[in-house]
Chain A
Amino acid sequence: EPEVTQTPSHQVTQMGQEVILRCVPISNHLYFYWYRQILGQKVEFLVSFYNNEISEKSEIFDDQFSVERPDGSNFTLKIRSTKLEDSAMYFCASRLGAGANVLTFGAGSRLTVL
């Protein structure tokens, strides 16, 4: 079954460092997403991406965050200068397209900021 793959599974970084989380969405999907989940809390929307641009972003997704689809397969989330409160699980998701609303999530990347 097609799946969304994410790397790394766990990253530990020092506060202030840049982090890039990588995702390979399902190959024929057109819409891509990043969500995050702080330990024990609900999953929160960060950003959606379609046709090589951000289509929507939440208030969490401030100037420290950016997304990119550098080639035909990867979708990345960059945090420029990490803060302690960025520690969370980051989930990438994708969906097929119009008329198909089901998001398929990856297994997540755990980010720990020290």
Chain B
Amino acid sequence: GESVGLHLPTLSVQEGDNSIINCAYSNSASDYFIWYKQESGKGPQFIIDIRSNMDKRQGQRVTVLLNKTVKHLSLQIAATQPGDSAVYFCAETPWGNNRLAFGKGNQVVVIP
């Protein structure tokens, strides 16, 4: 859902369970999407990316799904670990564009 100011949507997940984080984007011209992870006090860290000619891409324990019809992006984390606790941002841009537009972030809290 929407977040305002300090209140981020928060997903609490048991260690070992799978996590799904969702993101809606608005720019129809965007054709490149990235998920970033941000731990407290650190900069955004690249997780996985996908171009619009694909609807699914897998990495190590992570999968990104893209639904261009409804402008929706999701990140799935398999077997969530305590180190996955962070804020996750989706970002979008037209391919080759200079500026990423970040979403508002989703907090993931992993319960040991």
Binding site for B on A (CB under 8 A): 4, 31, 33, 35, 39-45, 48, 50, 55-56, 58, 91, 93, 98, 101-108
Contacts and interface: CB of A to CB of B under 8 A. Distances in A.
Given A101-B49, A102-B49, A45 B6 contact: no
Contact of A104 (B8, B41, B46, B89): B46
Given A91-B43, A102-B46, A104-B46, A31 B98 contact: yes
| Main SS at interface, chain B | loop
- Most chain B CB within 10 A, of A35, A43, A44, A45, is at A43
Interface in B48-76: 49
Given A41-B5, A42-B105, A103 B42 contact: no
B104 A45 contact: no
Contact of A43 (B42, B45, B89): B89
Contacts of A40: 5-8
Contacts of B96: 98, 101
9 contacts: A40-B5, A40-B6, A42-B103, A43-B44, A44-B102, A45-B99, A48-B99, A91-B44, A103-B100
Contacts of A102: 34, 46, 49
Given A105-B44, A107-B41, 16 more contacts: A31-B98, A42-B104, A43-B44, A43-B91, A43-B102, A44-B102, A45-B100, A45-B101, A48-B99, A56-B98, A56-B99, A91-B43, A101-B34, A102-B34, A103-B100, A108-B41
A94 to B, nearest CB: 12
Sort A-B residue pairs by CB-CB distance and give the 10 closest, nearest first: A105-B43, A40-B6, A48-B98, A43-B102, A45-B99, A56-B98, A42-B102, A105-B44, A42-B104, A107-B43
Given A40-B5, A41-B5, A42-B89, A55 B98 contact: yes
Nearest to B8: A40
A105 B8 CA distance: 22
A105 B46 CA distance: 8
